[in-house]
Amino acid sequence: MEYVQLVLAQIPGDKLDEALRPGGLLAKLDDHRNYLVHQPGFHDLRVVRSINREGNVQLVVETRWEDDQSLIDYETGEPTVVSILNEHRDLLVPGSLQVLDMEALRSEGWWQQFEAEQAVRQRLAFPIFLPVGIFLFSVLVIYGLSRIYLELAEWHWGDVNGATVLALVVATIILGTGTFVALNRNIKAWQIGGLAAFFLLAILAGSIWAAVHEGGGAAEAGPPAEAGPPAEGGAPAGGAPAIRAVPSLRFDKDRLTVPANQQVTITFVNEDTGIPHNFAVYRTQAASEVIAQGAICTAPCQNTVTVPPLSAGRYFFRCDVHPQMTGTLVVQ
């Protein structure tokens, strides 16, 4: 806590030059500091004036003291700021001299200590916390995006897969964000933090989606496959109809022919290494009525699908895990 004495006075504009001359009023007030530094409890002296070029000039002289007794002892002795101003009363506007004694809510020493602590925190934040934060942010972004890319790699629109589309979107966002920051040099810290938080939430949501989709896709399609190794050379045993899932995310044929009105066993071979697939037959392309459905297995693996007797016609088959893998089952 500090105690403050404020002394207010006004100087006519036409007498300001006289007050400013060497050895004049303002010089004496400034020299008064040399006397005050030897007084018990003294902290600081400040002399300020208004900068208006016309009319009276407001003069403010502030002294700060450690306690109220130090201020009282100073005011009851001489010289003081008031006594110096009284010596130059001819330079003051009559009746403008005022003296105010006040108690400071925050001392200068407290503020200096606060600024020192802030400086220490800033010196620690940049060399320690900033690199750690950037590292954690990068790990989350890389891990999250990798999970999303792996899942979207199985989604195709013609010859373009979802991972390629996402890569283009991410590159566009990065370019747009960089342009926005470069063109707005007065961007606030909270705005940068908001952008980072938005990207993190988007990546987190995408990672959760990829994890759920990956785990739930196989569970919804059917029970685990009783996988076994393909026959020698990758061909199914016997002369049964066969179809293969081959890299990347496609069947080796989009048309399969079987005899009408007979139960047929189709051999399904998954050669798309590390990727889960199955073979399922539906009555129409809407895939609303299943005729036969094989179990999902992860390559390399092989299983069979038993198709009941069907009348002549065309039917639809697909991979339930990757619905873009389709074909026509011809019964004749």
Read off the CATH number of the domain in which 89 is found: 3.30.70.100
Is residue 227 in a domain? no
Q: Are residues 91 and 134 in the same domain?
A: no
In the block, residue with structure tokens 């798309």: 272
Q: Are residues 198 and 262 in the same domain?
A: no
How confident is the model over 98-141, as pLDDT tens digits?
999 988 775 555 556 666 777 776 676 667 776 777 888 788 88
Q: Are residues 81 and 40 in the same domain?
A: yes
Q: Are residues 249 and 285 in the same domain?
A: yes
At 214 the pLDDT is 56
Average pLDDT over residues 180-202: 80
At 179 the pLDDT is 85
Q: Where residue 246 sits, what CATH number does that domain have?
A: 2.60.40.420
Is residue 204 in a domain? yes
At 232 the pLDDT is 38
For 20-24, 172-176, 194-198, 217-221, which range has the lowest pLDDT when averaged over its residues?
217-221
Q: Are residues 186 and 239 in the same domain?
A: no
At 224 the pLDDT is 41
Q: Are residues 81 and 65 in the same domain?
A: yes
Q: Are residues 128 and 70 in the same domain?
A: no
Q: Which residue has the higher pLDDT, 104 or 15?
A: 15
Residues ≥6 apart with Cβ < 8 Å to 11:
19, 25, 49, 56, 57, 59, 91, 92, 93
pTM of the predicted protein model: 0.36
At 188 the pLDDT is 75
Run of H or E residues at 54: none
pLDDT confidence band for 235 (50 / 70 / 90): very low
Give the residue among 264, 240, 256, 243 at the shortest CA–CA distance from 314. Answer: 256
Q: Are residues 126 and 190 in the same domain?
A: yes
Out of 151, 186, 221, pick the residue that ends a domain: 221
Is residue 261 in a domain? yes
pLDDT confidence band for 216 (50 / 70 / 90): very low
Out of 81, 105, 129, pick the residue that ends a domain: 105
Average pLDDT over residues 246-263: 93
DSSP 129: I
Residue 255 has pLDDT above 70, yes or no: yes
Q: Are residues 87 and 157 in the same domain?
A: no
Whole-angstrom distance between the N-terminal and C-terminal Cα of the chain? 101
Is residue 226 in a domain? no
Average pLDDT over residues 207-226: 53
How confident is the model over 260-310, as pLDDT tens digits?
999 999 999 999 999 999 999 999 998 999 999 999 999 999 999 999 999
Residues ≥6 apart with Cβ < 8 Å to 98:
6, 7, 8, 9
Residues ≥6 apart with Cβ < 8 Å to 195:
177
Out of 221, 251, 281, pick the residue that ends a domain: 221
Q: Are residues 238 and 314 in the same domain?
A: yes
At 221 the pLDDT is 37
Residue 237 has pLDDT above 50, yes or no: no
How confident is the model over 146-170, as pLDDT tens digits?
878 777 766 766 566 677 888 888 8
**Structural domain that includes position 270:** 232-331
Neighbours of 49 (CB within 10 A): 17
> How high does pLDDT run on average in the chain?
83
Residue 215 has pLDDT above 50, yes or no: no
Is residue 318 in a domain? yes
Residue 5 has pLDDT above 70, yes or no: yes
How many structural domains are present in the chain?
Answer: 3
Q: Are residues 216 and 273 in the same domain?
A: no
Q: Are residues 8 and 97 in the same domain?
A: yes
Is residue 77 in a domain? yes
At 125 the pLDDT is 64
Average pLDDT over residues 7-25: 91
Is residue 128 in a domain? yes
Is residue 262 in a domain? yes
> In this structure, what token pair is assigned to residue 233?
């050379």
pLDDT confidence band for 234 (50 / 70 / 90): very low
Rounded to the nearest 10 degrees, how much is the dihedral formed by the CA atoms of 292, 295, 298, 303?
Answer: -70
